[in-house]
Amino acid sequence: MNTIRRANFLIYQNGKPIIPSDDGFIGTCKDFKVGTALRLIITLPSNCRVYENKPHTQELKELKGQEDSEGKFYSRQFVLLEDENKKMGWLYPRILHNNSNRLKVVLQEDGKFQIYEVGFCNQDEKLFFRIQLTKERKGTFDLKAPKLEPDTSCDPTLPKNVGRILWHNDLSGVMAIRINTGTARGHWSEIVNCKSRFVKPNTDLIVFGSLTTPSTQTLFENEAVTGIALIEDVPTSGEIYLLVEQITSADQVDDGFRQLRKIIDF
């Protein structure tokens, strides 16, 4: 998990402090109840700004913090809601007025800016507090600047249905996957194995079930769906066939991955 220099983050539940572990772990879903409120208090240096999503939109608005001699203070309440689909776990954290699980902290110094995403997420029934550096650029941060086009370069050495994770947003679950025809979008909820750890960008290889056109607005042209499996080595064509068959058959996942681990050592 990343850190922000001279910043401080405090988490409270019913007035009692919660101390995250080094990877941000704060407890399992069994440790909390539906409707639990988590209060996040942030102290930042004066060269930082905090933004949140406007309700029902991807647009950002700047939050006004309280200032004193130590910097700026910000406070937001996240509520644990029940997810009937259990896509990311049966509890998921949200700021109620905008249905978001994160804030953006922009640090401006030395002729460049860094954007960090700060918030809570559920991964494999475990709740985490995360701080992640998601962007670093030269110049001054401009809220109205257009989004950069995603990297669409390909890796022709990779077989069909195999990709390498370029980046992963821990709080949104979205990832970019380099494949043999370009770069595709993926989501953590599609992963069917090794869900107990965060993925490793530029390291993790995957096998995915299929590609489709994204159903939501995005700059990506393709999305990996019907299952994603983390693997350590590029599989043979025969192994790829078996892996795709297993991850696209929901009723065979358990038995299939007992076989998968015999094929590829995790």
pLDDT for 263 equals 47
pLDDT for 188-224, tens place per residue?
Answer: 989 888 777 889 999 999 999 999 999 888 889 999 9
Least confidently predicted of 43-57, 58-72, 120-134, 158-172:
58-72
Rounded-to-integer distance, Cα 97 and Cα 260, Å: 43
Place of tokens 């991807």: 58
Question: Phi and psi for 237 in degrees, rounded to 5?
Answer: -60, -35
- pLDDT at residue 180 tops 90: yes
pLDDT at residue 256 tops 70: no
Residue in the block written with tokens 């990832």: 175
- How much is the average pLDDT of 220-243? 91
> Torsion angle, CA of 227/232/238/244, rounded to 10 degrees?
0
Query: 132-136, 241-245, 259-263 — which is least confidently predicted?
Result: 259-263
Q: Look at the pTM and tell me if it is higher than 0.85.
A: yes
Return the half-sphere exposure (C-beta side, CA atoms, 13 A cut-off) of residue 196.
2
* pLDDT over threshold 60, residue 122: yes
Q: Does residue 254 carry a pLDDT above 60?
A: no
Taking residues 100-108, report their average pLDDT.
97
Q: Name, in order, each residue with C-beta under 8 angstroms of 254's C-beta and a sequence gap of 6 or more.
A: none
Q: What is the CATH number of domain 162-263?
A: 2.40.50.140
Question: For the chain, which residues make up each domain, given as ranges?
Answer: 8-138, 162-263
How many Cα atoms are found within 13 Å in the side-chain-facing hemisphere of 24?
21
Enter the tokens of residue 108: 């401006």
